[in-house]
């Protein structure tokens, strides 16, 4: 069984903002890799700085490092032919998680995606967060961006690295087993499943500088870890005393999470949400807005990020109190992430880390966020309210089709 949600005090966790900070650290780690690189991402785009990450994978594979790359069948799909040929020639092993097939997303089981962004190098260094392999100034649907995408990741060492390595190794071998079984290579499939059950990586002692931190990896999947990320949020919100700040790209929390935020605000906790202000996708933009009313009425402050696309999935609670809590990961607070996708968040209980994240979020709210006025929200145009309700209804219908309640 993959270990997860096990807090220990032997970690060093460093916050990284945007691809501008993540990619150089990632490439440096790959160039220093000695034995293996495990890499999972929802989107792998080879435009701009994304190509530099691909080049680092190729260099590692060429010098004999075992290099495994898993991309999602919706987020990435088939790799570009030229890059696929280069990766294969270098020895990079890559696999596509849940390719869509001829019926695409018409089949509800295809809505279960690989949304986590994880990289483990040599079983001792972890990168985890919300940042895809995607240039900060490039969007596949909207082209060149005027300002960088707002997102975060962490670089971490310590015992949580083993949990990340375990879950990635198990998924890799299970995917190989499914492939072999479909090709009727049953002996190879059985061997892959046995390898998955035995796969383990021992994490080396933390090597980053600074005092050790208390942290854990929190996973979400559709087997053992169906609700761990949401429960981690609800526990932290329920014990908040002073302040809650959440930055989330696609924000459509279920009833329990909404009530937790409302109750926190009513007991005097300052609750601030930094949410997507630019239109990106119809469903995610409009389906979120019907839930704002109850939050605003309870005194929750909502800020919409406007300069570029907000893609962060982070939160910080009581950063300056005696029980600081922060999380950085891939999970949105919406039904796609909390009910269907494979997700991974790192939770850190450390004052210095929480304060660093808090300062960046407060700066974004003050300098790049537009605070939502409750009166203007209540008086928004009829057309917008109709679109909001249509999107909200479609989202609920989709959940009903999958058999989930939210």
Query: What residues act catalytically?
Result: 115, 117, 122, 311, 313, 318
Alpha carbon 364 to its chain centroid, in Å, reads 20
In 199-271, where does DSSP find H-type helix?
228-238, 255-266
C-alpha 135/C-alpha 46 separation (Å) is: 8
C-alpha 296/C-alpha 304 separation (Å) is: 13
Nearest partner of 68 among 122, 28, 1, judged by Cα? 122
| Adjacent-strand bridge partners of 299 | none
In 105-183, where does DSSP find H-type helix?
160-182
| Tokens 């993540």 -> residue | 22
Please give the radius of gyration of the chain, using alpha carbons only, rounded to the nearest integer. Answer: 21
- Give the CA count within 13 Å in the CB-facing half-sphere of 36: 16
Alpha carbon distances (Å) from 185 to 146, 172, 176, 188, 220: 50, 17, 11, 6, 30
Assigned token pair, 66:
């075992």
C-alpha 172/C-alpha 161 separation (Å) is: 16
Assigned token pair, 391:
């999107």
C-alpha 168/C-alpha 146 separation (Å) is: 35
C-alpha 349/C-alpha 158 separation (Å) is: 14
Which residues fall within 8 angstroms of residue 297, CB to CB, at 6 or more apart? 374
Query: Is the distance from CB of 59 to CB of 28 less than 8 angstroms?
Result: no
C-alpha 26/C-alpha 273 separation (Å) is: 29
What is the pairing mode between strands 270-276 and 301-305? parallel
Q: Helix, strand or coil for residue 300?
A: coil
Query: Is the distance from CB of 191 to CB of 151 less than 8 angstroms?
Result: no
């Amino acid at each position: 069984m993959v270990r997860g949600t096990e807090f220990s005090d032997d970690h060093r966790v460093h916050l990284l903002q945007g691809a501008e900070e993540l990619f150089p650290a990632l490439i440096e780690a790959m160039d220093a890799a000695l034995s293996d690189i495990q890499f999972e991402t929802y989107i792998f785009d080879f435009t701009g700085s994304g190509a530099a990450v691909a080049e680092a994978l190729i260099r590692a594979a060429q010098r004999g490092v075992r290099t495994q790359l898993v991309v999602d069948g919706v987020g990435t799909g088939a790799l570009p032919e030229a890059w696929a040929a280069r990766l294969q020639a270098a020895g990079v092993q890559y696999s596509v998680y849940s390719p869509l097939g001829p019926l695409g997303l018409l089949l509800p089981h295809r809505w279960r995606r690989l949304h986590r962004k994880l990289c483990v190098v040599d079983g001792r260094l972890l990168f985890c967060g919300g940042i895809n392999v995607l240039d900060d100034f490039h969007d596949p649907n909207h082209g060149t961006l005027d300002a960088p995408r707002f997102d975060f990741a962490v670089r971490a060492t310590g015992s949580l690295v083993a949990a990340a390595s375990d879950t990635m190794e198990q998924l890799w071998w299970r995917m190989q087993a499914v492939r072999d079984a479909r090709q009727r290579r049953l002996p190879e499939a059985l061997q892959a499943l046995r390898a998955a059950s035995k796969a383990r990586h021992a994490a080396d002692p933390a090597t980053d500088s600074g005092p050790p931190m208390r942290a854990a990896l929190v996973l979400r999947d559709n087997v053992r870890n169906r609700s761990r990320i949401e429960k981690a949020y609800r526990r932290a919100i329920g014990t908040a005393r002073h302040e809650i700040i959440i930055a989330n790209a696609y924000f459509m929390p279920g009833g329990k999470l909404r009530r937790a935020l409302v109750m926190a605000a009513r007991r005097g906790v300052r609750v601030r949400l930094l949410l997507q202000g630019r239109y990106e996708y119809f469903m995610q933009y409009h389906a979120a807005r019907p839930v704002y009313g109850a939050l605003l009425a309870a005194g929750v402050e909502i800020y919409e990020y406007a300069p570029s696309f907000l893609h962060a999935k982070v939160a910080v609670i009581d950063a300056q109190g005696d029980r600081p809590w922060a999380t950085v990961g891939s999970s949105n607070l919406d039904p796609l992430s909390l009910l269907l996708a494979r997700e991974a968040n790192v939770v850190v209980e450390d004052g210095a880390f929480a304060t660093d994240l808090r300062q960046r979020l407060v700066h974004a709210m003050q300098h790049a966020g537009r605070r939502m006025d409750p009166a203007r929200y209540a008086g928004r145009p009829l057309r917008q309210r109709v679109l909001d309700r249509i999107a909200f209804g479609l989202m609920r219908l989709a959940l009903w089709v999958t058999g989930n309640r939210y």
